[in-house]
């Protein structure tokens, strides 16, 4: 039985991935920063690693591991108050990754799948979607650190002798999601009018089911070695369309107001929320044709079904609250 190490196992993506890999018969060991018992899950082992940095000890955790999925990271912070944000991101995302990959146990690992971010290409697209052949253009410290980590993964892989695959996802949603996506669910569920009826953008999203299906494919598919892949649901939507799909899954009506985007941008700037609002007004599309062609892979879950499962989880949380 092949054994997979999943870092960041208690995060949103990690929880889904560990359970799905275990269901497929993999031996799974997940790591988390917080203290837990080794038997925290009935389906897989969960080990405490502490802070991911240049002093983390991966020795015992890597014993018998065939594959590594590296999810753990310092994630994007909307309003970062750190004096030197890039240094903070680099400590975890770059030096922490190097500490893992240079550990002695990595010499027996067959492949590392590194989950990066679409932000290494930028925050918004113009006339065409991002593609895997585009030159990176990171615009914030988080994205810079993730791109640096990508290069490090491939460099150390060539040096130590394991295969590498990089995946760059856009916004990931699904059961257990947090952040702005849950805020949208809350507002639609409460029937709050939203000022986005006139927005004409196009955005790529990926359900956690589709992302994890691609991760699983990349573990063993020979064609994944040495590649960088973009991923999405392969069904782009505008902000108004997304809100209507969510409302439909809730058996509600989306109340959208016709406010010009220029006014929304101006108001967001006054409130110090330009970055958040730009995600709702601007476009970010990814082209996954190369991913589908190289791996002979298709996203197994439609966006509509992905939203439906997310809403079902959200409504269950409300019922149990």
Q: Where are the domains of the chain?
A: 3-168, 176-204+235-321
Residues 6+ apart with CB under 8 A from 70: 7, 8, 97, 100, 112, 113, 114, 115, 153
Q: What residues form DSSP beta bridges with 298? A: none
What string of DSSP letters covers 48-105?
E--S-STT---TGGGTT--EEEE---PPP-TT---SSHHHHHIIIIIIHHHHHHTSGG
Verify whether residue 114 is a known catalytic residue. no
Name the class of domain 3-168.
alpha beta
**Mean pLDDT, rounded, for 287-302:** 98
pLDDT at 29 over 90: yes
Catalytic, out of 44, 67, 114, 142: 142
So what's the pLDDT on residue 80?
60
**pLDDT given for residue 277 in this prediction:** 84
What pLDDT score does 100 carry? 96
Residue among 78, 77, 281 nearest 198 (CA): 281
Q: What is the pLDDT of residue 126?
A: 86
Share of the chain above pLDDT 70, in %: 95
Give this prediction's pTM.
0.94
Contacts of 58 (CB under 8 A, 6+ apart): 49, 99, 100, 103, 105
Which is higher by pLDDT, 21 or 37?
21
pLDDT tens digits, one per residue of 134-149 = 999 998 999 999 999 9
Q: Pairing mode, if any, of strands 171-173 and 205-207?
A: parallel
**CA 295, CA 223: separation in Å to the nearest integer?**
6
pLDDT at 81: 63
Mean of the per-residue pLDDT values of the chain: 93
pLDDT digits (tens, 9 = 90+) for 172-220: 999 999 988 999 999 999 999 999 999 999 999 999 999 999 999 999 9
Give the residue, 119 or 38, on which the prediction is more confident: 119
Domain 176-204+235-321 has CATH 3.90.25.10: yes
């Amino acid at each position: 039985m092949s054994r997979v190490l999943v870092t960041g196992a208690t995060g949103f993506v990690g929880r889904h991935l560990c359970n799905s890999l275990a269901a497929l018969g993999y031996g799974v060991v997940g790591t988390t920063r917080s203290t837990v018992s080794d038997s925290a899950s009935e389906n897989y082992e969960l080990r405490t690693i502490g802070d991911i940095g240049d002093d983390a000890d991966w020795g015992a955790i890597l014993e018998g591991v065939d594959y590594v999925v590296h999810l753990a990271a310092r994630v994007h912070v909307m309003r970062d108050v750190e004096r030197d944000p890039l240094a903070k991101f680099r400590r975890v995302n770059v030096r922490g990754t190097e500490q893992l990959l240079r550990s002695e146990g990595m010499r027996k690992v067959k492949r590392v799948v590194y989950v990066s971010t679409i932000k290494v290409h930028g925050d918004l697209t113009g006339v065409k979607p991002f593609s895997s052949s585009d030159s990176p253009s990171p615009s914030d410290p988080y994205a810079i650190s993730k791109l640096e980590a990508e290069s490090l993964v491939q460099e150390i892989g060539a040096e130590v002798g394991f295969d590498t695959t990089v995946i760059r996802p856009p916004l990931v949603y699904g059961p257990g999601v947090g952040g702005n996506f849950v805020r949208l669910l809350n507002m639609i569920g409460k029937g709050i009018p939203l000022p986005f009826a006139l927005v004409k953008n196009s955005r790529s999203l990926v359900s956690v089911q589709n992302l994890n299906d691609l991760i699983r494919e990349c573990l063993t598919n020979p064609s994944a070695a040495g590649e960088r892949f973009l991923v999405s649901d392969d069904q782009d939507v505008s902000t108004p369309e997304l809100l209507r799909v969510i409302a439909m899954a809730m058996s509600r009506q989306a109340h959208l107001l016709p406010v010009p985007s220029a006014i929304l941008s101006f108001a967001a700037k006054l409130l110090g929320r330009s970055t958040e609002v730009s995600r709702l007004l601007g476009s970010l599309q990814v082209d996954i044709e190369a991913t589908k062609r190289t791996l002979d892979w298709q996203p197994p879950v439609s966006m509509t079904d992905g939203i439906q499962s997310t809403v079902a989880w959200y409504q269950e949380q409300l019922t149990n609250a």
